[in-house]
Structure 1
C-alpha cells in the first residue's frame, strides 16, 4: 500500500516535480545574491534618518520599501515618469536599478505556474502535493528498510539504482517535505482558502487637513530602526485628506501629515507571523542560507526521478502503446490550438486516417521539423486563430521555422482554418500560413479551407475532399467537445439604450464558489480579473460566445455588458434573463488585455459595450493609479453605461478624468473626435509612459488608431510603435 502510494505520484508527476526542483534550486540563489549585493543599514540607524536622506536626494519620493534581504527601494515620479532605485541607506542615493531581474522573474513564473496563471498554479500545487506524499511515504520506506526510525543513519544494503535512490532520499526527504508543505500552504493562501490574517488599521475618519510636518521630528519613526521597517508611503500629492502609511515588523498604522499624530495602528497578528515565516522558509527571503540549503536539496529531484524510474522499469518492464513516430508516419498532422478544441478535431482526423491504414503523427505546429518526416507523403495543418489574427499558443514558432527553411518540404500541404465568422479576423492566421507556404513554393495538396464555429459539417466536407485525394473513403464524424461550464445566477441587471433602438444591459451574476477539489480537477470558476473573458453557451448551440468581464474575483460577482444583436442567439437569451435565471458559462484568461499592477498612467478608450472591462479597471483602481477614460455612446440620456458609477469612482480618485462623446444629438461627436480635442494632454501622457487600452467594435478601433496616429506623429510616435512596446493593446470585435 505505502509502496504504491509512493510509486504512482512519482510516475504521474515526474515532469512537474523536475520543473519544481530545478527551478526552485535556481531561485534559491537569488535571495543570497540580493543579501550580498544590497547596501545594508547600519545598526541603530533610524527610519527618520533614512527618510530624510532619501527625501533630500529625491524630493518627490512616494514610497520607501525594505525587503527581507535588507534591500531598500525608493519610488518617485520625475517629470511624470515613474522612477525607482535601490538605495544606499548611508547616503539616501540610488546605487542600482530597481528593475526586476528578468531571469528571476522568468524562473519565478515557471516555478509558480508553468506560465499558465491559476491553472498552472493548480498543476504546480498538485506537484507539491505529490512531493509531500513522496516525502512521507519515502521516509517510511527508508525507515522500514533501515530497520526502524532509530536506525535512519545506518548503512544501506544493496546496490544499483535502488541503493542510490534510497541514499539520496534519506538526505533529501526532510528538506523536500518542508518545501512541499510550505508550497501547499502558499497555494492555499493564493486561492483564498486560508484567512488573510493581516491586521489592517481602520482608516481614520478625520484628519487635521494640514500638511508639511517635519518627519525628522516624529518620535515614532525617530525611534524606529530601519531594520524593523517594511514600508513607508507618502500621502498623495496635494491631497490633504491622505496620510502617511507605516508598515513595520510589529504592525502598521497611519500618521497625520499635518500634525505627525499616530491616527491608527494595528499589531501584526500571530497568523500573519506564521504566514510570513512559511513564506520565508519556502523562498529563502530573509533566510538566504536556509534557501540555499533547500535549493541544494531540490537538485536531488532529478536523481530521485531517474533512479526511481529505473527501479520501477526493472521490476515491471516498459510496456505501453506508442503512436507513430514522426520518422515513420506517412501523414503529419500539425495543430495550432489555443483552448484545445482544434486539437480534438486533429485527434478525430488521426483516428480516421489510422483506421484507413495511414500511420499518423500528430504534433503542435511549433514542433514543425521537416527533417524528421522521412516517410511523410503529406502534411496537414489544422490552425485556429487567436485574438486579432495572431498565432495560437501552440503555433507561435511555426512561421519562423518555415521562413528559416532553405526550401519547402517535399510532402504537399493542406491547411484547414478554424474560427468564428462573427469576428473580424476570421481564420486570419490559417490564411497567413497558407500565404507563407505558397510564397515558399510549398506544393498544395488541397486549397485553404475553413471550419466555422467548430462546424462538424464543414469538417466532414473537408474530409471527403481529402479522402478523394488519398483514394480512401474518409468519414470525419466529429462531435465538438462541450466546454465544462458552471451555472451563473443573475442577481441584478441595469438596462440602457431602448430610446436609441440599441437595447443594452449590464448583467451581474453571483460569484460561483468552487471547492479546492473542483479546482484541482479543473472545474468550477477560477480566479479572474477585469479584461478576462467568459464563454456563454446558449441553449440550442454547442459553440460559446465570449464576453469581456467588467469585474474581478475580489468584487464578489461576475459582470458583463451585453447588447442585443439582431438575430443573435446568445445575446437574445442573455437579454431575456431576469434575476434568479441562470446561464451556463466558463472562464477564459485574456492576459493580453489586463491593466497590470504598475503605476504608469492608463488611457482607456471604448465605445458602447466596450466600456465593460474599462469600467472594471477603474473599479479595481484602489491604488489611485492615473486613469483617463474616453467613452463614446449614442446619447447620454439613454446609454451612458456606468454613468453613476463613473462619477462615484471619479470622486473617490479611482478615475482621474472622464471624457465622453455622444454620436447622436445636436452636435454629433465620436470618441476619436474627443481624442483629437485632447491631443496635447494625450501626447504628454504617452511621452510620460502611459499605456493605451482600446475596447469596442472594429470600426471604432480603426478610427481611434487613425486619430492617435495623427496626434502622435509630431512627437515621433505611432500606434504601431506603441504596440511593439506593449503600450497599445486592443480588445475588439
Structure 2
C-alpha cells in the first residue's frame, strides 16, 4: 500500500512536481542575493533616526518599508510624481531602483500559478500535495529498507539507480516535507480557507490636531530599532487628523503626528506569528541560508523523478506479468515473494498459473507487503523466499520478519515456506529458514514443512509442487522454464594461460565491451555499468543453466575480464578455457553488491587463492585513489599459476597495492594463505583493530581456513570473524 501511494502520485504528477521544485529552487536564490546586495542598518539605529535621514533627502516621503532580508525601501511624491528607491540607512539616500526583479516576478508567477490564475494555483497546490505524499511515503519506504531511524543513513545495496534514488531522498526528505506543507498552508490562506487571525488596533478617536513633531521627540520611534521595523506610513500631508502607522515584528500601532504619543497598539496574535513563520520557511525571506538549503533539497526532486521512473520501468521488466492476479482481499491463496535478482518471481508466476488452472483465486505480491488483515478470503499463504548475501532478507522481503514479529497472534490460515538458494554456499536458504523459525515461534500452522530449491532446479520445484498438490487435494503439475536475463555476445580479445604444469589449467580471459545503447547507459543496464566482483553469467553450449564467474575488471577498464580454472568434467569451464581470440560466448551481467570494498580510505585486507584472485585484482587495478590495500594470495607454484604476476609489482610501484604476501602450496614446505596470515599475525591484527575491511574470495575450504586463522589471530583483541561480519567488515565471495 505504501509503495503504491508512493508510486502513483509520482508518476501522475511528475511534470507538475518537477516544475514546482525547479522554480522553487530558483526562487530560493533571490532572498540570499537580496540580503547580500542590500545595505544593512548599523547596530542600534532607531526608526526615528532612519526616518529623519530619509525625510531630509526625500521631503515628500510617504512610506518606509523594511523587508525580511534587511533591504529598506522608501516611497515618496515629488511635485506630484511618485518615486521609490532602495535606501542606504547610513545616509538616507537611494542607492538602487526599487522596481521588482522581472526574473523573480516571472518565476514567482510560474511557481504559484503556472500563469493561469486561480486554476493554476489549484494545480500547483495539487503538485504540493503530491510532493507531500511522495515525501511521507518515501520516508516510510526508506525506514523499511534501512531498518529504522537509527539506520537512516546505513549503507545501501542494490542497483546504482536505486541507491541514488534513496540517497537523495533520505538527505532531502525533511526539506521537501517542510516545503510542501508550507506551500499547502499558503495556498489555503490565499483562498481564505484559514482564519485571518489578525487584528488591527482601533483607529484613535481623538488626536492632538497638531503637526510637525520631530522624529527624535517621538519616544516610540526612538525606542524601536530598525531591525524590528516592517513599515512606517506617514500621515497624509496637510491632514492634522491623520497619524503615523508603525508596523514592527511585535505588532502595529498609531502615533500622533503632533505629540509623538502612542495612541493605540495591537500585538501580533499567535496565529499571525504562525503564518509569518510559515511564510519565512517557504520563501526563505528572513532566513536566506535556510532558503538556500531548502532550494538545494528541491533540486533533488527532478533527479528523484528521473530515477523513480527508471526504477519503475526496471521493476516492470524485472517482474513477470502475472495475468489474472487477484486482489489480495479476494484471493484464496496468497503467494508472497522474497527476491533480490528477480528469478524467484518467475517461479511465483509458474505457481500462480498452475493454481489458477485448478480454479483457485491467487494473489502474488512481495513479502514486504505482508498484511494478514487484508487477506479476508485467504485459505493459505505460501512464501517463496530467496536469500541475500550471508542470510539477509532480499530486496522484496524487507521488513517481513519485523511485521511477523509484531503480530499479536498468528494468521488463521496455514503457511508453507519454500526457500531458494545454492547449496554450495554456507548460508543456503538461510532467510527462508529464518522465516520458518519465526513463523513457528508465533504458533503459525504449517501447510507444508520448510522445503528448499537448489540452484533454481525445475526438478526440485516440480517435486515440491507434487507435495503441495497432495496437501491441497489438487492435481498440481509445476513445469517451470527458468527465465534468463537478456544476454549479449562477448568476443574474446586476449588470453593468458597458467597452471598446466600443476594440472590445473587456468586462463585469464579478456573480452571486448559490447555496445550499449543510450538508454542502457542511463539506466546502467547490462554491461553499461559494472564493478570488479560483480558476476558474469555464461551460457555454455548444450546447456540452459548459466555458470557464474566473478569479474576482474570494471567498466572504466574498457574490457571484461574473468579468471577461469578448468574443472574436470566442467562443461562451461572447459568451453571457456578452449576459447581463442575472436571466439564468442553468450553472457549476461548480474550485480553482486554484497562484495564491495566500501567507501573511504579504510585499509583493505584482500585474501584469495587460485582463480579467486580475479575480483581482488580488479579491485587493486581500480584503486586509483591509492587506498591502503594488503593482498594475501595463495598459489600452487609461482612458475605456473602466479596470476597477475606481471601486474602486481607494477601496481605496488604505482601505490595501488601497499603490501603483497604470497603463499605457495606445492614445494618442500607447503604454505597456504592461512599460514601466511599467521606469519603476519601482528600486522594483520593491528590493521583490523584500526578498522580494516577484510574481503575473501575463493573456494569454501580456503575461506573456512582463513576464518579459523583470523579467529585465532584476533582472539586476544576480543574480535571474531562473526563480529566483523556483523559490522560489515568481513565479506566473502566463495564457491
Deviates more, 1:722-731 or 1:458-467: 458-467
TM-aligned CA deviation for residue 670 of structure 1: 0.9
- Residue 54 of structure 2 aligns with which residue? none
After superposition, the C-alpha distances for 1:403-452 in whole angstroms (9 at most, x for unaligned) are: 33343322111122223344444333323333333344322212333333
Match of 1:165 among 93, 110, 123: 123
Cα distance in 1 for partners of 2:457, 2:673 equals 37
Sort the Cα spacing of 1:295 and 1:601 in 2 relative to 1 into closer, same or farther, 3 A: closer
> Within 1, Cα distance between the matches of 2:356 and 2:561?
46
Aligned equivalents of 2:477, 2:493: Cα separation in 1:
46
293 and 401 in structure 1: CA distance in 2 versus 1, 3 angstrom threshold: closer
1:707 is paired with a residue of what secondary structure?
A: helix
Partner of 1:258: none
Match of 1:254 in 2: none
Q: 1:153 to 1:334 in 2, by over 3 A?
A: closer
| SS of residue in 2 equivalent to 1:623 | coil
Aligned to 1:697: 699
3-state SS of paired residue (2:732): strand
Q: Which residue of 1 aligns with 2:517?
A: 515
2:11 to 6, 10, 13: 13
Match of 1:559 in 2: 561
Change (3 A) 1:718 1:449: closer
Question: What secondary structure does 1:329 align onto?
Answer: coil
Whole-Å Cα distance in 1 between the matches of residues 685 and 31 of structure 2? 41
Contact 1:24/1:298 (8 A) holds in 2? no
Question: Is there any run of 5+ residues in structure 1 with no aligned partner, and where?
Answer: 1-8, 36-138, 144-150, 173-186, 191-285, 303-320
Aligned counterpart, 1:354? 356
TM-align CA RMSD: 4.1
Residue 20 of structure 1 and its aligned partner are, at CA, apart by 7.4
Q: How many Å apart are 1:695 and its aligned residue?
A: 1.0
Q: Which runs of structure 2 are paired with 1:328-477 in the superposition (5 Å)?
A: 328-477=330-479
Q: Partner of 1:60 in structure 2?
A: none
The answer to whether structure 1 residue 491 and structure 2 residue 449 are counterparts is no
Deviation at 1:34, TM superposition (A): 13
Q: Which structure 2 segments of 5+ residues have no match?
A: 1-6, 34-105, 131-160, 165-287, 305-322
* Aligned equivalents of 1:459, 1:346: Cα separation in 2: 11
Superposed CA offset, 1:66-96 (max 9, x none): xxxxxxxxxxxxxxxxxxxxxxxxxxxxxxx
**CA displacement, residues 596-637 of structure 1 (integer Å, 9 cap, x when unaligned):** 341111111111111111111111112221111011111222
Q: Which residue of 2 aligns with 1:638?
A: 640
8 Å Cα contact 1:25/1:298 also seen in 2: no
User: Which structure has the larger Rg?
Assistant: 2
For residue 540 of structure 2, what is the aligned residue in structure 1? 538
CA positional deviation for 1:581: 0.8
1:53-132 paired onto structure 2 within 5 Å: none
Matched, 1:672 2:674: yes
Instruction: Please give the residue correspondences for 1:501-512 in structure 2 after superposition, counting only pairs within 5 Å.
Output: 501-512=503-514
Q: Distance in 1 between matches of 2:356 and 2:638?
A: 61
- CA contact 2:24–2:295 (8 Å) conserved in 1: no
TM-score by length of 2: 0.59
**In 2, are the aligned partners of 1:28 and 1:294 still within 8 Å (CA)?**
no
Q: Contact conserved, 1:513 with 1:524, CA < 8 A, in 2?
A: no
- Matched with 2:574 is 572
Structure 1 residue 506: Cα displacement: 0.9
Paired residue total: 481
Q: 1:421 to 1:168 in 2, by over 3 A?
A: closer
CA distance in 1, matches of 2:29, 2:543: 53
What are the equivalent positions in structure 2 for 1:280-319 lying under 5 Å apart? 292-293=294-295
- The 5 Å alignment of 1:272-283 reads none
- Whole-Å Cα distance in 2 between the matches of residues 643 and 721 of structure 1? 34
